[in-house]
Every structure is written in structure tokens, then in C-alpha cells.
Amino acid sequence: MLTAIGISGLKKAFGDAHVIQDLSLTIPTGSFYGLAGPNGAGKTTTIRMIAGLLRPDGGTIEVDGVSVWPDPRAAKRILGYVPDNPTLFSRLSAREMLDYAGMLRGMESATIRERGDDLLRVLGLEADADRQIADFSLGMTKRVGLAVAILHSPRVLILDEPFGSLDPVNTQVMEQLLARYRDGGGSVVFSSHVLDVVERLCDRVAVIAGGTLVAEGTVRELAGTGSLEDAFVGIVGGRELKKEDLGWLSSSSD
């Protein structure tokens, strides 16, 4: 089995806080792979190190056989990355943003325009293509960010909370686009708190808690006979309110 992303012994600390501790993962080529975990588990830190934006303190990362560190430039040529809140040039229009991103990657002008027009149409941005991104909602900005990330047809696509701020219609379109990309041989890795989306889309899931890998496998292996959400709570530990908690919220209280 070919490997889209291989991580071995990954470590990252910020001061005395050890955010990632000896994390190892093998993500197969052509898979739809989910990273799940509670807030503060280290998912975004891991994704930023894979994308070549944050230098690890230890361990190795390879994307499609290319070592990300210490020189991430070669890996960045073959991957696309969409953060939770994409940072784009807000005074550019969506079309100008795609033109700029394509030129940075050395793409031909005709190819940029052809692919850009396709992406703007599919993502429901055609009517707003010449508006400044500053006027866009977060959901629209996320769609532009995805278009920028996929414009050069990367072999690996990394997404951080890709479905947040999207309405159901655009969520469905994005899911279909990602499925088409995967069917064409691409590999998708994304983190999400929306576990029903993870359960519906992913081939495999890694659960990270406290900066370490606590579970990994197919959705069915992790969920068993129940839901992935129930399994997730069982793996990372849940919290329930006690009867006496917030008793003052009762409508009968004085």
C-alpha cells in the first residue's frame, strides 16, 4: 500500500507545554482520512507541521515520499492546505486570488483561468467572482480557500475543519468535490469536530488526545455497532452534568 503521509515520532512543544508527543501515523494514498480529537488535542498543530508551516521539535514527516522538514518547499508543491480560517488577500477578488495563487505556482495563464472558472462555478462563487474577498462571509472565504488549495491539482489535500460555517447546500457540494478529487487519485486528510461527517466520508480515522494517538482504524473498527460519536466519547472520556449543577436554571427557582 502506498503512503500519502508518513509521520514518525513527531514532537512539538511550546515552552513547557508538550502539545505533540511521539506521534506516528501512516495515511494510505487515495484515502479519505479523518483526524478527530477534543479541543486542544493537537490536531491543528499536527496539520500545520504536515503542511510545512510549523517546524517540529522531533520526528519525521513525509508527504508522498517527500520529506517535509527541514526544507518544506518541495512538499508544498505537491500538497494543498486549507486552514480553519483561510488567510487570503482581502482586497483581491476571488478570481484575482486564484490568478495570483496560480502564478505563484508557475502555472500557465490559460490553465489558471480554465481551472479557476471551473472551481468558481462548482463552488457557487461564479456570480461573486469579481467581488473583493473582504466582502465575503466566512463560508464563502472557505470556499475560495479550497479553490486556491486545489487549483494546482495537488496529490495530497489537507483541510482543518473544512465544513465549519458552510450551509448544507455548500457542504454537500464540497463533499462531492472532495470525493471527485479522491476518485481521481488524490488523498484527503481533514480534521473535524463534526463526527457524523467524519463517519460518513472517511475510510480511516485517527483519534488524538493530549498530543498522542489514542485510537486508529476504519470507521467501523472504531465505532463497532454504535456511532462514531459514542465511540469517540468513550475513547477520550465524556463529561455529564450532575443533578445539582446549575440548579438555578430551573424555571421553578425563585
Q: CA 85 to CA 107: how far, in whole Å?
A: 25
Q: What is the pLDDT of residue 149?
A: 96
pLDDT in tens, 83-98: 988 889 999 999 999 9
Q: What is the pLDDT of residue 186?
A: 94
Tell the CATH topology of 1-78+158-237: Rossmann fold (3.40.50)
Q: Is the N-terminal amide bond of 162 cis, ω within 30° of 0?
A: no
Question: How do residues 188-197 score in pLDDT, each as one tens digit?
Answer: 999 987 788 8
pLDDT band for position 251 (50/70/90)?
A: low
- Mean pLDDT for the chain? 91
Between 232 and 28, the more confident residue is 28
Cα angle, residue 159 at apex, residues 124 and 157 outer, rounded to 5°: 90
SS3 106: coil
Given pLDDT bands bounded at 50, 70 and 90, which one contains residue 15? very high
Give percent above pLDDT 90 in the chain.
69
Question: What is the pLDDT confidence band of residue 229, given thresholds at 50, 70 and 90?
Answer: confident
Question: Locate cell 425563585: which residue?
Answer: 254
Residue 117 is predicted with a pLDDT of 96
Q: How far apart are CA 2 and CA 187, in angstroms?
A: 11
170 pLDDT more than 90: no
Q: How far apart are CA 120 and CA 150, in angstroms?
A: 12
User: What are the start-end ranges of the H helices in 59-194?
Assistant: 73-76, 94-104, 109-122, 138-150, 168-183
In 3D space, the residue among 143, 151, 144, 149 whose CA is nearest the CA of residue 111 turns out to be 151
pTM of the model: 0.89
> Stretch 113-135: mean pLDDT, rounded?
96
**Domain positions in the chain:** 1-78+158-237, 87-153
Average pLDDT over residues 48-70: 95
Pick the residue with more confidence: 206 or 161?
Answer: 206
- Band (254; pLDDT cuts 50, 70, 90): low
- Measured in degrees and rounded to the nearest 5, phi and psi for residue 114 equal -65, -50
pLDDT band at 252 (very low <50, low <70, confident <90, very high): low
